[in-house]
Amino acid sequence: MRAEIEKAIELLQRGDDDGVEQALALLQNTVFSFSMRVCGHREDAEDTMQEVLLKSVPQLPKFDSPKALVVWLYKVAKNRCLMNRRKSKFAPAHELSLEELMPDRKELEQLSSDGKINPEFLAIRSEEASRLRNAIQKLPSQYRIVLVLRDMEGLSDDEVA
């Protein structure tokens, strides 16, 4: 785990305003760099970072695990970037609140377990999977069927034929 996330947890556990302010300063770069990768534009990433950090202040002291905190921040930032992207085309009927995104006790325990979690990898993997699904859907059906049977279902060339 990155040292600035662990330090942010320590500062948040102090419970004073100065600690929260210092923790936000430490989390700023993490949220911004992730937002840049997801949003793709500096202005969108800056807006996302500011909004995520500002609205997450009441939730931050609830975290005692660096892994849980960073996964949650990544999830909120990703959703914010995607919501901004959708607004330009589709304007969603319902926006998710931070309370809805806040993990419950069971999720926090699962996130703080010793398992290796790489939220950045998971986010990138999810984005790649989405692009791949969209590209596959654009193929003519006869090619799409061959691709699905061969590469996704693992059938041999003879079985596909």
CATH of residue 90: 1.10.1740
Q: How far is CA 69 from CA 90, 97, 112, 156, 160, in A?
A: 30, 17, 9, 44, 46
Residues 66 and 89 reside in one and the same domain: yes
Q: How far is CA 13 from CA 16, 53, 64, 110, in A?
A: 8, 17, 8, 20
Find out whether 65 and 112 touch, Cβ atoms under 8 Å: yes
Residues 112 and 123 reside in one and the same domain: no
pLDDT band with cut points at 50, 70 and 90 for residue 92: very low
- What is the distance between the alpha carbons of residues 57 and 78, in angstroms, rounded to a whole number? 18
CA dihedral 125, 38, 85, 23 (to 10 degrees): 130
Q: How many CA atoms lie within 13 A of 115 on its CB side?
A: 11
Residues 15 and 94 reside in one and the same domain: yes
Mean pLDDT of 68-90: 75
When divided into structural domains, the chain yields a total of 2
Residue 67 has pLDDT above 60, yes or no: yes
30-40 pLDDT tens trace: 888 888 877 77
The more confidently predicted of residues 93 and 129 is 129
Residues 112 and 124 reside in one and the same domain: no
Residue 44 has pLDDT above 80, yes or no: yes
Residues 79 and 148 reside in one and the same domain: no
Residues 35 and 103 reside in one and the same domain: yes
Residues 71 and 131 reside in one and the same domain: no
Mean pLDDT of 70-89: 76
Residues 88 and 154 reside in one and the same domain: no
Domain span at residue 25?
3-116
pLDDT band with cut points at 50, 70 and 90 for residue 11: confident
pTM more than 0.75: no
Residues 85 and 39 reside in one and the same domain: yes
Residues 111 and 143 reside in one and the same domain: no
Q: Which two tokens stand for residue 21?
A: 């302010």
Residues 112 and 65 reside in one and the same domain: yes
- What is the distance between the alpha carbons of residues 77 and 81, in angstroms, rounded to a whole number? 6
- Range in 5-14, 55-64, 89-98 with the lowest mean pLDDT: 89-98
Residues 26 and 95 reside in one and the same domain: yes
98-155 pLDDT tens trace: 556 566 667 666 665 555 656 776 787 788 888 877 887 787 767 777 776 677 656 6
Within its chain, how far is the Cα of 152 from the centroid?
26
Share of the chain above pLDDT 90, in %: 1
Q: How far is CA 144 from CA 113, 135, 141, in A?
A: 40, 10, 5
Mean pLDDT of 79-106: 62
